[in-house]
Amino acid sequence: MKGSIKARATWEALERPGGDTCRLIAEPDGWMLVGHAWFRQPGCDARLDYVVRCDRDWLSQSADVTGTVSGETVGWRLCRDAEGWMLNDVPVANTAGCHDVDLGFTPATNLLPVRRLGLQDGVAHRVDAIWLRVPEGRAEVLRQSYERVDHRNILYRSPGYETRLELHPSGFVTLYPEGWQGDVDAG
């Protein structure tokens, strides 16, 4: 049985040249995000393909990122096991409680905790995510908080950062201030 596309999102970067396209795919055993992001910033020109796999309950299981960063070919694989997460088969410390993947170069992965948590207005949910930092290719724990303000807005927090994300009913971000703005087709 093949997966079916449930939504397509397209974003434009707001403060640097860049863009991103992503598909949300329902699979028999869970969900996949499949996308391509490109961006330019001082010292970095990146073109990255990504695939994130989740189980039926939106718990992230793995992520693959391939492409080029500043002309160099890159490939990163995040994979979860009972002990936590590994980056290219090397364990990442203190990640056993990380349920979400955060690919720091795309707004697509904000969909994962939004869908998994079933957010209710005014209730903040703290989550730990395995955060892939680009261009470094480093993975670490990122403490985050998601709080639904109303049916279209989420208050997002991480250490030293806070913003209000606008959402499409699919869970995809349509506005990430100072980051991305986009459209979603969930037809």
Give the HSE-up count for residue 144: Cα atoms under 13 Å, Cβ half-sphere: 27
Let me know: does 88 contact 77? Beta carbons within 8 Å. Answer: yes
pLDDT digits (tens, 9 = 90+) for 90-117: 999 999 999 999 999 999 999 999 999 9
pTM: 0.94
pLDDT in tens, the chain (187 residues): 478 999 999 999 999 999 999 999 999 999 999 999 999 988 889 999 999 999 999 999 999 999 999 999 999 999 999 899 999 999 999 999 999 999 999 999 999 999 999 888 888 999 999 999 999 999 999 999 999 999 899 999 999 999 999 999 999 999 999 899 999 998 7
8 Å CB contact between 4 and 26: yes
Q: What is the pLDDT of residue 1?
A: 44
pLDDT at 97: 93
Contact status, residue 100 vs residue 143, Cβ threshold 8 Å: no
